[in-house]
Amino acid sequence: MLRNSESGFGTVTIVLHWTIALLILGLMLIGFVMRRTEIDPALQFSLYQWHKSFGFTAFGLALLRTIWWLAERTPPPVPGLRPLEHAAARETHRMLIILGLLTPLAGWAVASASTLNIPSFYFDILVIPHLPLPQSESSEAFWAFAHALLAYVMLALVAIHAAAALYHQFVRGDAVLIRMLRSGLRSSNAGAADDGRETHEAVAGRK
């Protein structure tokens, strides 16, 4: 099932969710390593280019995910989820979608505002043009701070999001995590409703 339904998430949503999540974690790791001053300059340059390439990929997928989220239906919450929990999950999801766009945009701004004026090679296939921003040390410092701040906020939200999913899976025992792993997973309430409807139809058919 490619699209979302009333019973669960579709394959497109699930693939985008986990691909972007892996990209975010990978970008965080590369970001920490590439800023270490003791590493080889050639390796550092390569890491910066890899970071930018994966960052542009994450931005493109985040943009696609945003369009998909706006166009697609959202499955109802799993049975037993409290209204406050549902609201918190919804707002966290919205914040992650926004940060998924703003964080790579800020990174793009860092490269664009840098006085070094180093081109952004996208996997050595093409050059991504700079944004029309003034190149100065103050502008680069501002966007570098914004990029780092947004990245840390997103990392914190990802950690909270993951912890909540694990809590629901192993403590509450509901399908919050499972339905983001399996396309078209039906909730227990939906299954019960279908079973009741089928039973009713079977009884009616005998009359």
Within a domain: 202: yes
Domain presence at residue 177: yes
With respect to residue 3, please indicate whether it lies within any of the assigned structural domains. Answer: no
Q: How many domains does the chain have?
A: 1
Within-domain flag for 4: no
**Quick check: is 40 in a domain?**
yes
Q: Is the pLDDT of residue 207 over 50?
A: no
The answer to whether residue 111 sits within a structural domain is yes
> Could you please report the per-residue DSSP string of 49-115?
HHHHHHHHHHHHHHHHHHHHHHHS--PPPPTT--HHHHHHHHHHHHHHHHHHHHHHHHHHHHHHH-T
- Domain encompassing residue 120: 11-206
* DSSP letter (8 states) at residue 102: H
Summarize pLDDT for 54-110 with one digit per residue, the tens: 999 999 999 999 999 999 988 888 888 888 988 998 999 999 999 999 999 999 999
Whole-angstrom distance, CA of residue 69 vs CA of residue 50: 28
> Taking 70 as the threshold, does the pLDDT of residue 22 lie above it?
yes
In a domain, 60, yes or no: yes
Does some domain include residue 6? no
Nearest to 162 by CA among 99, 96, 102: 96
Say what the pTM is.
Answer: 0.85
